[in-house]
Amino acid sequence: MLQELAGKQLDIYIALVTGLICTVIGLLLDRALKSRHPQPDASAGAPVSSTPQALGLTVAQVTRLSVEIRSQPSATGANGLAYLAVGVACISYLWFRLEILDAALLLTLGMVGLWFGIALHSMAAGYLRGRQWPVYLLSLLCFVIGAVAVIAAAHSPSVAPRYFAQWQAFAHEQGLRGFVGLFKSGQLASPDLALFIGHVLGVAALFLALKDAALSMFFCAVASSGKLRGGDAASWIVRVAARYAARPLRTLAMLAGLLVTAFYLVDGQLVAWLLQDFPVVTDNLVRQLLFGGARR
């Protein structure tokens, strides 16, 4: 994995620069938008839904606001479109593996950088307050580290199908018909197919985690503007995003779970364990339950 990262130094530098640029853009954009709507004088304890501008929103206030917004009728098929996009990416993965992984890296650093700029300016200007916001930002930094680890593992998995590094070029030259020929000739076997399916499922889990994180950050950014009130009808994207801000701890736990699952899937370790060790463990467990410690 380290050798693969060393060979991708330029891509990593570009992604880091993209993240920094997006942070600056987020800061300037938030400053420009909120400078048009200065904060009115109101008590800090006023309910979010009763004030025209959000004054020092805490994480708890954003959570209550998201619950109010979430109770509105949701947009039909909104999540379905996101899952469809993930499905298309997975199907295209055989032909565009490197491009999709590079896009995932840029997307991760870009969207988190943009939210960091917005959040830092909002906290400095008093639109966001409370110790939980720095904790939220720190958790997103951990999310970025986890996502980068998954992408690095996807570039160079510990347990990979045979000829994995050449699959993309082979797919462009021969298409699916060429892979069928490899299976018929015995150059690829069912374990190789299982490893590849597990790898693609791991990439899908990564993109689902990116989707959930993006929606959570989007709702917090919209709420920090002070224009969002629980009693007003919200747009469909805000109603969808409210789902991921209603329970922050649960969302963070789900993100961590998705990233851990994605890592062991793309790295091949989970599939290898299921193919090699799981049958042995299951057989030993059944024998222990049926016969105990007696000799058979």
pLDDT, one tens digit per residue, over 161-201 is 888 888 888 888 888 888 888 888 888 888 888 998 899 99
Residue 83: both structure tokens together: 């899952």
Q: Which residues contact 226 (CB under 8 A, 6 or more apart)?
A: 34, 37, 39, 51, 52, 53, 54, 55, 127
DSSP code, position 233: P
Q: What is the pLDDT of residue 48?
A: 42
**213/3: higher pLDDT:** 213
Distance CA(143)–CA(147), nearest Å, equals 6
Q: Which residues contact 257 (CB under 8 A, 6 or more apart)?
A: none
Residue the block writes with tokens 């993309």: 168
**Contact between 70 and 234 (Cβ < 8 Å):** no
**Contact between 114 and 26 (Cβ < 8 Å):** yes
**Does position 202 have pLDDT exceeding 90, yes or no?**
yes
Among 70, 58, 82, CA closest to 131: 58
Q: pTM for this one?
A: 0.82
DSSP code, position 96: S
Find the range with the poorest average confidence among 59-63, 206-210, 261-265.
Answer: 59-63
**Mean pLDDT, residues 84-91:** 76
Residue the block writes with tokens 């501008």: 53
Among 143, 68, 78, 56, CA closest to 108: 143
**Contact between 151 and 206 (Cβ < 8 Å):** yes
**251/9: higher pLDDT:** 251
| DSSP assignment string, 189-214 | -HHHHHHHHHHHHHHHHHHHHHHHHH
**Does position 243 have pLDDT exceeding 70, yes or no?**
yes
**Mean pLDDT, residues 267-291:** 87
**Contact between 115 and 27 (Cβ < 8 Å):** no
* Residue 276, CA distances (Å) to 120, 266, 273, 282, 294 in order: 48, 17, 5, 11, 26
* Residue 92, CA distances (Å) to 55, 98, 102 in order: 45, 11, 14
Angle formed by the axes of helices 248-266 and 132-155, nearest 10°: 10
Q: What is the pLDDT of residue 25?
A: 92
Find the range with the poorest average confidence among 156-165, 192-201, 237-246, 262-271.
Answer: 237-246
pLDDT, one tens digit per residue, over 128-159 is 888 888 988 999 899 999 999 999 999 989 99
DSSP code, position 129: -
**241/115: higher pLDDT:** 115
What 3-state class would DSSP assign to 227? coil
Distance CA(55)–CA(17), nearest Å, equals 33
Angle formed by the axes of helices 132-155 and 59-70, nearest 10°: 70
Among 40, 141, 150, 59, CA closest to 100: 150
